[in-house]
């Protein structure tokens, strides 16, 4: 054996394996949000993706898996969870409509901003919900304020964060207030050009789940695992959250008009995607 060649090959393989590891992303470089109570001054920047609209609407599935899942509709693709929710709404069953509402993706909005006092960090994305989004759209529509993203005569905003109740838990609640005076985005031409051209893209930063993986997540949500369904011999069956059936157990059943026997949602799910290409 040629020991030198073996060492060289071993080194090459180790380097290849090391480079194949996914590098951890420091998301604080790309996203901004208030970290503690207080007031922050920000400026919305014209988006490099759409000069006419700084806001990017993103739809996210919550509560279906451990982590939020970005809907495939954000990429203009068919989303199995969205398709199944549509089918549930096509029935006249109240429980199906309730479940479809849970499955529908929720709106989150991202906008490129500069945080005053942290200009050296460049443009970052601020994520907010429908309430603040509506306020920002209302201000944009008001002729008294004009285009607050204008690089020469735009307006800064004050973002105030206070601790409060958010869905039953304590967290930072934010409110916004537009500054009355106009101001330039930056007096530094080089800095300004950098901010207008170097901006993070939320759809490139966020993990995209493929169609089949999303189908599997939905199946697991609709049909608990065998271990979750199985009960011990001394367990009171009346306390179980599902009906005892000979077919695979599920938390839900789908009633269809005119059907002799209710179909489980898992059955309906399988029928919906029969014939889908892998």
Q: What is the CATH number of the domain that holds 49?
A: 3.90.198.10
Any domain includes 249: no
Any domain includes 15: no
Spatial contact of 223 and 69, defined as CB atoms under 8 Å apart: no
Q: Give me the pLDDT at residue 84, please.
A: 95
Any domain includes 234: no
| Alpha carbon separation from 130 to 58, 108, 134, 200 (Å, rounded) | 11, 7, 6, 21
Any domain includes 5: no
Give exposure, 239-278, as e/b (b: 16+ Cβ within 10 Å): eeeeeeeeeebbbbbbeeeeeeeebbbbbbbeebeeeeee
Residue 166 belongs to domain spanning? 25-209
Q: Give me the pLDDT at residue 241, please.
A: 30
Any domain includes 32: yes
Tell me how many domains the chain contains.
1
Question: What residues does 8 pair with on adjacent strands?
Answer: none
pTM of model > 0.75: no
- Distance, in Å, from the CA atom of 156 to the CA atom of 178, rounded to the nearest integer, reads 6
| pLDDT less than 70: residues of the chain | 1-23, 224-278
Nearest to 176 by CA among 193, 195, 191, 162: 162
Any domain includes 224: no
Any domain includes 148: yes
């Amino acid at each position: 054996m040629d020991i030198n060649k073996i060492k060289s090959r071993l080194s090459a393989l180790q380097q290849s394996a090391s480079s194949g590891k996914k590098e951890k992303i420091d998301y604080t470089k790309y996203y901004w949000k208030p970290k503690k109570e207080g007031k922050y001054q920000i400026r919305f920047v014209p988006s490099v993706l759409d000069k006419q609209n700084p806001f990017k609407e993103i739809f996210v599935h919550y509560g279906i898996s451990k982590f939020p899942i970005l809907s495939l509709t954000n990429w203009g693709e068919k989303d199995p969870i969205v398709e199944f929710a549509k089918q549930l709404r096509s029935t006249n069953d109240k429980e199906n409509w309730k479940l479809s509402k849970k499955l529908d993706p929720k709106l989150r909005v991202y906008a490129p901003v500069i945080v005053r006092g942290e200009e050296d960090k460049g443009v970052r994305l601020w994520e907010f919900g429908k309430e603040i989004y509506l306020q920002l759209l209302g201000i944009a529509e008001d002729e008294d304020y004009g285009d607050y993203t204008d690089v020469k005569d735009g307006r800064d905003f004050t973002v105030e964060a206070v601790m409060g109740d958010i869905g039953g838990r304590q967290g930072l609640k934010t409110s916004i207030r537009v500054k009355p005076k106009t101001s330039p985005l930056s007096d530094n031409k080089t800095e300004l050009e950098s901010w207008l051209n170097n901006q993070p893209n939320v759809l490139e930063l966020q993990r995209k789940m493929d169609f089949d993986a999303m189908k599997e997540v939905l199946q697991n949500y609709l049909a608990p695992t065998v271990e979750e369904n199985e009960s011990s011999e001394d367990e009171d069956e009346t306390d179980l959250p599902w009906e005892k059936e000979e077919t695979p157990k599920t938390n839900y059943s789908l009633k269809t008009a005119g059907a002799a026997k209710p179909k489980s949602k898992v059955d309906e799910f399988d029928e919906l995607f029969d014939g889908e290409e892998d």
